[in-house]
Structure 1
Amino acid sequence: MEKMFNKKLELFIDKYEYMKKFFYFSKNGINEYLLSKIDLNDKVAIWGAGEHTEKLLQLINIENINILCCVDKSKEKRGLYIEGIRIVQPCEIKDYKIDTIIISSYSFRKEIREEINKLSSMYKIVDFYDKYDLGFPFFYKYLNANTMLIAITVISIFNDIKAMGYKVDKENEKKVIEIIAQNNFDIEDIKRKNGVLNRNLLHKHEDNYDEGSKIKVDFFFQYPQGWTSLETVWKSFNEDNRFIARLIQVPFLQEFKDIFSDDSRKFLLDSNIPFIPWYLYDIDEEKPDIVFYQSPYDELRPKEFSSREIYRKTRIAYIPYALEIGGGDLNYRLQFNLFLHNNAWMIFARSKRHKEMYRKYSSNKGKNVVVTGHPKIDAIYKLKDFNVDREMAKMVKGRKVFIWNPHFSIGSDPLSNWSTFNIWKDIILDIFEKRQNCFLIIRPHPLLLERLDKECEESIPKVKEFKDRISKMGNVYIDRNFDYRHSFAISDALLSDASSFLLEYLATYKPIMYLPNKNGPSLNEDGDIVEYYYKAYERKDIEEYVDMVANGFDTMKDIRTSKIEEYLGIVDGKVGERIKNCVLEKYDFENVSI
C-alpha cells in the first residue's frame, strides 16, 4: 500500500508540473512546446480555423514559427483570414510544401490526425495534447480550477500517506514542499478543509473486489448536498451479499466553488463512510460491472470520470441529482438530453410523469428509463429519524420556522434566471425582523452560498450590508450544513424559487410558497404543481403566508397533498430497494441471455 500511494503521489506531481508549465502559464508553455517540436526552417500549417486557432494564434510568437496557412474543411471559410493567416482547403496544402502541421483542436484532434495521414504520411504532426489529455482545451474556463485541483490533490495524498503511518519517498516529499511554497499553501488549512484518510475509512478493495460471483457496483460521489440521491440506494446494495458496493469520491469542479475544499471527501470522512479517493481509482484495474452517476455534467469532473470515458468500459446507471422542475429548451437539454442521458444503461425516474419527460426530450425517447420513485423521497419519508443539528434546534427556541431557498441563477438572462434572491432579500428580512415569533433559515443553493461567502457585489448588490444585518438579527440563520435535512426536519414551511425543493418538500406535508421570477424561464411539465402552492407576487403575499403559518393554518393542504403520488410516485421509503431490484433483474437477464 505504501508503494501504491507513493506511485500515485509521483503521478500527480508530474501532472501538476506539466499543467503548470504548459497550461497555467499558457503563452510561455505553448511557445516552448512548439519550438521544441518544430525545426527552425520548417514550413508550418495549422489545421483548424475555429475558436481554438484564434486563441492559439493570440499566444504564438509568429516571428519564431513560419506559419504559411490554416487548413479547414469548411468551404465557407476558404480564402478568409484568421489573425492574418489565409484559410485553405485540405487539398490545397500540397501547394505550400508543408513540413509540419499543428493540430489546433481538442474535440476533433483524432479525426484531424486521420485526415492528415490520408493526405500524406510524410507530415510531422504536432499535437500539444499528446503528453496529457487533460479533458479540456488550453483556454478552458475551469483551467485554473483544474490546475489547482491537481495541486491540492498532491497535498491531500501527502497528508494521507503521513496519516496512515506510511513513509513518503524523499524525492516526492521535496517536490511537495516546493508546490506548497510556490502556491503559498497552508497545509494545515488544507488538512482542516479536506480531512485526512485513515485505514479504517479506505475501502479495502484489494481484499474483496476479486470475488467473481458478486456484482461489482461503484458509486461516483461528487457533492454532499446530493447525498440523499444515493444514500438509500448505496445502502441497499451494500447490505446485499450479491453485490460489492463501493463509494468512489470524485471532485466536483464548478465556477465560484472554493477550490481548496473537497466537500465530497470531507463529508465522507466526517460521516465515517468508507470510500476510495479518486486519485487511487483506475477503472481499467477495478473493472466494475455497473457505475452509478450522481450528475450528468461531464465538464464538472475530471476527464477520467466522464460518462464518455466510462461508457466504453462498463454499464452506467443514473439517478437524477435533483427533482427537476425548471423548463426551457436549454434546461430540457441539460436535464434530459446529454450524452449520459442517452447512453446510460439505466435511468431511474420518480414518476410516470417524469418518465414521459424523458420520452419527450431525450434523443433515445427514454428507452433506458424505469419508474422507481426518487431516493431523495426516501430521505423525507424517514425524516423523523434524522439526527438534527442540536445547535440549530436550540437556536429556533420553539418558534415557527421557515426555510427560504433562493436559487443561484442571478442575472438578466431569461433562459436561466430562476432566482428571485435580489428581488426579495431585503423585503424578507424586513418581514422577519418584525416577527420575532418566527425564525428564518436561509438555505441558499450551494453556488449562491459561495457568492455570499465571497461577497460578490456584482451579482449581489449590498451583499455586505445584507450579511451584517443577518448577524444582528436573532431570528435569521444561514444553513451551511451539507445535508439540508436539518432544515427540513425543524421547519414548519418553505419559501422557494424554482428548485428541487418545490417537489421534495411536498413529501413533508408542510406548507409551500413558490417565488416566481416573471422575467425568468418557464417551469417543466411537473411545474404545474405550483398551482397547488401559495405564490408570492408582492410583499403582502409573503406577509400573509408567514402570518397564516404562524397562526397554525394551511388552507391549501388537502389539495396539495392529494398530488403527492402523481408527482413523486410511491412514497414508502423503499426506493433504494426498488432500484437495486431493477438493476439485479436487468443484469441477470442480460447475463442469462449471453
Structure 2
Amino acid sequence: MAIKSRLLSKLKFTYMTTTMAATAHPQKLRPVLHNLEEARKLCQQGLTESNYAKYGEVYDGLIMAIKQILSGEAGKDAGEIVGLCKELLEHIMAETSKEEHFKKEIVFLPYKASMWDSLESVWRAAYEDKDNCLAYVVPIPYCDRNPDGTAKEWHCERDLFPQDVPTLDWQEVDLKAMHPDVIFFHYPYDDCNRVTSPSQEYYSRNLKKYADKLVYIPYFVTGKGVKPNFIQEPGVNNADYVIVENEKIKAIYEEYYSGGKLPEGKILALGSPKYDKVIASRKEDYPLPEAWERLIAGRKIILYNTSLQAHLAHSDKILEKLYSVLLYFKERKDLAFWWRPHPLLEATLDSMLPHVASVYCEIRDAYLQEGWGIYDDTPELERAIVWSDAYYGDTSSVVELYSKTGKPIMIQDMEVSNIT
C-alpha cells in the first residue's frame, strides 16, 4: 500500500529523530513537528473518516506536546513529555502496521487530452469511490518529433481537460517517491513512435519501476480486429495488465503477444472506456459555439473524419481526394459539414510525409479562411459524434465508436476523387 508504506517510513524517521533530539537541545525537535504534521495528513488522506478517528487524537496530542516543548511552555517537564511522545509513536506505528483499510493510490497518465476518453470512465469510478481509492490525473508532457527523431516542440495539454476532472501539475508529482498502487496509461510506444513521444520518464519501462501495478488501456478501439504491431509495442509487454474491448480482441492479443510467456490473466476483456463515453454522451453535455450553430442552421450534419492510416497508405491520392470532398460539400447547401481530422494528423505528416504536409496545410487553411464549414481540432470527439447525423470518411476507431449510435456510416473510397 503506497500511503501506508510512506506513512510508516515517516513515523519511523520521526521516532528516530525524537530519540536523538531528546539527548540534545529541545529545538532539535522542529523536524519532528514537521514530520508529525505530514504523517497526520497522510493518515487522514489514506483512511476513511471513521477509521482515522482512532488516530486523529493521538496525532493532535503529539503535535501539541512538541509545540509546548519548542515554545518553552513545557519547562522542566520537557524530558518526561518527550518520553511519553516516544511511547505514543511506538503505539501509533504498531497500530498503523496492522491497519488494513488504507485507500489505494491510483494515478492516470494521459498525454493527449483528445485521448482522455480511453481512461475517463475508469478514473471516474475510482474517483467516486472515496472510501477505497485516491485517484489522480496527471497530464504528462509530450513532444512532436522531427523526421530525424529529435524533439520539434513540447506540449502539455492540462488546460484542455474537462473542468470536472481535477488534474495535477506533472512537475509537482514525483512518481518514484509516491510509488502509487496502480498507474494507468494509454501511450504504449516508449521511444518507438516516429511522430510523438512523452518525456522518457513516462515510458512504460520506467513507469513499471514506479508502481505496484501498471495497467495499459489502448487509446483506440477496433471492434473486430487489431494489427499485430499494436500488440507488440513495449507498453503491452511492460504492463501487468492490458484491458481490451472484447473477447475477440483479447484472443488476438494472446496470439500475437511478444513479451515472452504470457502471464495468466494479463489480457482482460473488460470493455473500453471510449464506448462508455460515447454511450453516455448527450447533446446537452456539449453546447456548440455560436459560430458553429450559425453554420449548421438547422441542416443535417455530416461528420467528415480523416485518419492517419489513410494518409499514410494513400499519400499519392489523399490530397486530391481531400480537395474533391471539400469542393463537393461546399456546394451542398442542404448539408452542414463538420471536418474533424485525427488529432495527430499534422504532426504525422510533418514527421513522415513533409512533402504532403505543406499542401495539406494549404488546403486546410483555405477551408478555414472560406469559413463555410466547421473545422474541429478540439479534444471533444464525443461532441462531434453526438451532434452529427451521419458519418463520412476513413476507416478508423471513430467508425467503431460511431456505430454505437446507430446513425448512418459511409466509408470514403480513395480511388474516387470526383463525387457526383
Q: Which residue of structure 2 aligns with residue 242 of structure 1? A: 132
Aligned-residue sequence identity (percent) comes to: 24
Deviation at 1:260, TM superposition (A): 5.4
Rounded to whole Å, the distance in 1 between the matches of 2:250 and 2:316 is 26
1:466: how far off? 2.0
Does the C-alpha gap of structure 1 residues 426 and 237 become closer, same or farther in structure 2, counting only changes over 3 Å? same
2:246 aligned partner, one-letter code: S
Cα distance change of structure 1 residues 475 and 490 upon mapping to structure 2, 3 Å threshold: farther
> Structure 1 453/361 Cα, relative in aligned 2: closer, same or farther at 3 Å?
closer
Q: For 1:83-232, what aligned pairs fall within 5 Å after superposition?
A: 210-211=46-47, 213-232=102-121
State the shift of 1:418 in Å.
8.3
2:144 pairs with 254, 259, 263, which one?
A: 254
Q: Distance in 2 between matches of 1:258 and 1:272?
A: 31
State the match for 2:184 in structure 1: 292
User: Which of 167, 172, 175 is matched with 1:275 structurally?
Assistant: 167
Q: Contact 2:246 / 2:269 at 8 angstroms: preserved in 1?
A: yes
Partners of 1:312 and 1:208 in 2: how far apart?
A: 27
State how 1:428-507 maps to structure 2 within 5 Å. 428-450=325-347, 458-460=355-357, 462-463=359-360, 465-471=362-368, 473=370, 475-507=372-404
Change (3 A) 1:462 1:259: closer
* 1:409-443: CA deviation from partner (whole Å, max 9, x where unpaired): 576x65xx689642411110121122111111110
Tell me which amino acid in the other structure corresponds to 2:295.
Answer: M
Distance 1:420 1:366 in 2: 44
Match of 2:286 in 1: 387
Q: Structure 2-normalised TM-score?
A: 0.65
Structure 2: unaligned runs, 5 residues or longer: 1-40, 48-100, 192-196
Q: CA deviation at 1:304?
A: 1.9
Whether contact under 8 Å (1:410, 1:459) holds in the other structure is no
Q: Which amino acid aligns with 2:169?
A: P
TM-score, with structure 1 as normaliser: 0.47
The one-letter code sitting in structure 2 at the alignment partner of 1:275 is T
Q: Map 1:307-456 onto structure 2 (within 5 A).
A: 307-313=204-210, 314-324=212-222, 331-333=227-229, 335-363=230-258, 364-365=261-262, 367=264, 368-384=266-282, 385-391=284-290, 392-409=292-309, 421-450=318-347
Quote the Cα distance in structure 1 between the aligned partners of 2:378 and 2:385. Answer: 12
Kindly indicate whether the alpha-carbon contact (under 8 Å) linking 1:418 and 1:497 is maintained by their aligned counterparts in 2: no
Q: Deviations over 1:432-465 (max 9, x none)?
A: 12211111111011222457999x9721464465
Q: Is the 8 A contact 2:225 2:249 kept in 1?
A: no
SS in 2 for 1:250: coil
1:264-295: CA deviation from partner (whole Å, max 9, x where unpaired): x1213x62532222212212211211100122
Deviation of the 1:221 alpha carbon = 1.7
CA distance in structure 1 between the aligned counterparts of 2:45 and 2:384, rounded to whole angstroms = 38
Name the count of aligned residue pairs: 310
Match of 1:291, SS?
Answer: strand
| Structure 1 contact 228–376 (Cα < 8 Å) conserved | yes
Q: 1:512 and 1:470 mapped to 2: Cα distance?
A: 23
- Measured after TM superposition, the shift of residue 405 of structure 1 is 1.2
CA distance in structure 2 between the partners assigned to 1:457 and 1:283 by the alignment: 37
Compared CA separation, residues 489 and 262, structure 1 to 2 (3 A): same
Q: 1:303 to 1:208 in 2, by over 3 A?
A: farther
Q: Is the 8 A contact 1:388 1:489 kept in 2?
A: no
CA contact (8 A) 1:359 1:366 kept: no
**Paired AA for residue 153 in structure 2:** I
Query: Partner of 2:307: helix, strand, or coil?
Result: coil
Structure 1 residue 246: Cα displacement = 0.7
Using a 3 Å threshold, how does the CA distance of structure 1 residues 393 and 419 change in structure 2: closer, same or farther? farther
Structure 1 pair 457–229 and aligned structure 2 pair: CA distance change class (3 A): closer
| Separation in structure 1 between the aligned mates of residue 413 and residue 270 of structure 2, nearest angstrom | 30
